[in-house]
Amino acid sequence: MAKLSTDEIDLSAGMFIRCLPVDDWTTHIQVPFKHLKVITHDPVVLQSGNAKQRPTDVTDEDIELHSLVQRGLELGKKTNIPKYAAYIQRYVTRERAAVLPPIHLWTEHPLSIVQSTHQGALQNFLCVPHGLKLIAIDGETQLASHYHLERSLTGREEAREQHATAHLSAVVHDNRTPLEARQFFYDLNVLGVRVNSAIALSMDTADPLMEVVGRLSEEIPFFRGKVERISRQIKKNSPKVVKLQDLRQFVVNMVHGIAGVQYGTKPAPVGHVDLADLESAGRDWLSAYAEAFAEEIADREQCVAAMGSVLAAVGAMGRVILEAPAEDRADRLEELLDSLRKVDWRKGDHWLGTALTKTPQGKYTINGPKQSAYAVFGALSDPASPAYAVVRGEPSSPAL
């Protein structure tokens, strides 16, 4: 990038965007969306095989360059656009605290930086020539979501203007070859390590269920300081007894029954439930379960009471407590506990086909919640299930 003196500025040369140069090929810019869309295409129109929807200013060369440095907008990336657009709307309206990462934009053409006095100070402005379009090599889903949001706000002029004038951050890489840009795509998307689901859940303060789970894990004495919030697995000698995602599944299933396992770490709808009531019922049921089977929960090596599939099933059993009238909840809770007190929680062959699998070497392995929660739920709660009697050390009823 060649810096130009003030008297060389030609406002007809292109769009000038306030910037912070990093090196000869990299510049940080702050730009409102109404200007960002002048120097970019909607990524949707850059997809190959989309000729019918292609604007007249999108050329075959644009499509080819895009294909060299980006993947297609398909599958999860495509379905994420409306959700990301909704998040962006919350960002621009300041509905709640939100953050958008910088978009990385690329062009193989060299750009110029112009210095000019603005508001009494000498500032740098990046000049993007008229007609030149930059391609997003990272943050393309966000860019596509901005375009999607703009279309969705048609007819809502105040909201549309609010979005158009919201300042966004971007990093411009110019005078780089397509091969270099392609490598940048790799570096930006592959070298980083995604956080695991446990950390992601623990950090999601916008999830109303996590607020409930957080309070239960801190306010129920048995679980205080014993919840694994970081790792996906509890180490053998760890003082932790239960994983955060398993406690969350317990609460989710109190709302949705055993079908709640389908949500996994994804957001689960709770709009029809009074969260304060859910927290109260959840505290009662989780506290009672922990008090009744404290030794079995703590002994993760020898017992199954703290396994994810078991907690998912126990949480689903608690749905009858949540749905019961307040005056009947204590009775429902005691009925459930009476049934569970007959369960043999020790690991053994009586849990095969439900919570456990046995290797040819005779070692027990734990089945995950999605794999086995329904079977465990039947074993714990359904007298018609053959496993119901088996896990209680009773002879199973003969099949009719």
| Band of residue 271 on the pLDDT scale cut at 50, 70, 90 | confident
**Residue 396's pLDDT band (boundaries 50, 70, 90)?**
low
How confident is residue 194, by pLDDT bands cut at 50, 70 and 90?
confident
Mean pLDDT of 227-247: 89
Q: Cα–Cα distance between 298 and 324 in angstroms, integer?
A: 30
Grade residue 400 by pLDDT with cuts at 50, 70 and 90.
very low
| Residue (of 157, 107, 117, 124) closest to 17 by Cα position | 124
C-alpha distances in Å from residue 97, one per residue of 93, 153, 201, 362, 395: 10, 21, 17, 52, 57
Q: How far apart are CA 103 and CA 142, in angstroms?
A: 8
Between the CA of residue 190 and those of 66, 179, 312, what are the distances in Å?
18, 16, 34
Q: What local confidence, expressed as pLDDT, does residue 105 receive?
A: 97
Residue 333 predicted with pLDDT over 80: yes
Task: Lowest mean pLDDT of 6-15, 144-153, 202-211, 269-278, name the range.
Answer: 6-15
Which segments of 40-156 does DSSP mark as H helices, in order? 60-69, 75-93, 140-152
pLDDT of 266 reads: 84
Mean pLDDT calculated for residue range 186-204? 76
CB 33 within 8 A of CB 146: yes
Tokens of 21: 């140069």
Over residues 228-249, mean pLDDT: 89
Which is more confident, 243 or 95? 243
Give mean pLDDT, residues 201-215: 82
Least confident of 62-76, 235-249, 351-365: 62-76
Mean pLDDT, residues 182-209: 79
Q: Which residue has the higher pLDDT, 141 or 9?
A: 141
pLDDT at residue 153, as a whole number: 92
> What pLDDT is recorded for position 189?
84
Tell me what pLDDT residue 366 has: 92
pLDDT beyond 90 at 290: yes
Secondary structure letter of residue 176 according to DSSP = -
Please state, rounded to an integer, the average pLDDT across all residues of the chain.
90
Q: Mean pLDDT, to the nearest integer, of 126-137? A: 94
- Where along the chain do its domains lie? 2-190, 197-390
- Which residue is it, tokens 């889903």? 141
Q: pLDDT tier at 399 (50, 70, 90 boundaries)? A: very low
Bigger pLDDT: 189 or 109?
A: 109
| Arithmetic mean of pLDDT, 360-374 | 91
Query: How far apart, in whole angstroms, are the C-alpha atoms of residue 397 and residue 378?
Result: 14
pLDDT higher than 50, residue 149: yes
Using a 10 angstrom Cβ sphere, with 0-12 exposed, 13-18 middle and 19 or more buried, the burial of residue 102 is middle
C-alpha angle 166/170/171, rounded to 5°?
165
Least confident of 26-35, 91-100, 169-178, 317-326: 91-100
| 316 in Cβ contact with 254 (< 8 Å) | yes
Q: Decide if pLDDT at 7 tops 70.
A: no
Q: What is the pLDDT of residue 96?
A: 78
128: enclosing H helix or E strand: strand 121-129
Question: Nearest 5 degrees, angle CA 139-CA 144-CA 145?
Answer: 95
Q: What is the pLDDT of residue 202?
A: 65
Instruction: Give mean pLDDT, residues 223-232.
Output: 88
